[in-house]
Amino acid sequence: MADSTELPIPPADFLFLVESILMQAQVQLGLLSFGEKDEHPEPNLPLARHSIDLLAMLQEKTRGNLTTEEQRLVENGLTELRFRFVQVSDELKRAGKSTASAPASGAADESPLIVTADGGKGTKTG
């Protein structure tokens, strides 16, 4: 018998999957905290980038197969996450904090890599 204090499990649908990835990326960017009020987790840019890339891949693979609500959630979520990623990256650079987001190859260009729905090729998708 289930405990009456247990929260109901949300439906296993596309919206919940996208919302889960969005929440995960926000935590990885240090935008959400589940601890003390003044406690903010340190951003993990490589993990945040991975979550953004994952959501972009889902967008590409489901193109033309989503409801209007699902499409808007993915598009708006990706836009917001990409903006926040750049914002957090810039804040960390200004603060002089070292992040794990630097390329492993030691390349001089440390600008954040944002992969678009076209895989970062620079082509327009419609």
pLDDT digits (tens, 9 = 90+) for 92-116: 999 887 555 444 433 344 444 444 5
The answer to whether residue 121 is domain-embedded is: no
Question: What range defines the domain where residue 88 resides?
Answer: 14-95
b/e sequence 48-87, b meaning 16+ C-beta within 10 Å: bbebbbebbebbeeeeeebeeebeebbeebbeebbebbee
- 28-64 residue pLDDT tens: 999 987 777 667 788 999 999 999 999 999 999 999 9
**Total structural domains in the chain?**
1
Q: State pTM to two decimals.
A: 0.69
Residue 31 domain flag: yes
39 is a domain residue = yes
